[in-house]
Amino acid sequence: DAKTTQPPSMDCAEGRAANLPCNHSTISGNEYVYWYRQIHSQGPQYIIHGLKNNETNEMASLIITEDRKSSTLILPHATLRDTAVYYCIVRVPPGTASKLTFGTGTRLQVTL
């Protein structure tokens, strides 16, 4: 599995954009980047995923660099409810196990 590196913690003011970086320099060409978050001790929540193009949905935007070695999850207008641990996960190539391998993630604290 491609290893991911994320900062252990970040702060963001409510209403501002939260930009969460992820480094995945050993990613293979057919591996997807997924983002999940876990609010307190709730079940992980799917946010977004992408392969090489930037992606946007109602929750967030995902920006993947052209060389695919890093990505940034953007929460455009963070609220207190976005306080959570955010996990960047590289999915293993097709034909192998479909488990998710979680790292330690980034703890995002949104403050007033």
**14 vs 59 by CB, closer to another protein:** 59
User: Using CB under 8 A as the criterion, what x/- string covers residues 25-64 for binding another protein?
Assistant: -------x-x---x--xxxxxx--x---------------
Among candidates 33, 20, 6, 45, which has minimal Cα distance to 109?
20
95 near another protein, rule: CB under 8 A: yes
From residue 58, alpha-carbon distances to 71, 78, 83 in Å are 18, 13, 17
Pull the structure tokens for residue 37: 């978050």
Asked if residue 111 lies in contact with residue 15, where contact means CB atoms within 8 angstroms, the answer is no
Q: Does the footprint of another protein cover residue 100 (CB under 8 A)?
A: yes
Does the footprint of another protein cover residue 99 (CB under 8 A)? yes
Q: Which residues bind another protein (CB under 8 A)?
A: 32, 34, 38, 41-46, 49, 87, 91-104
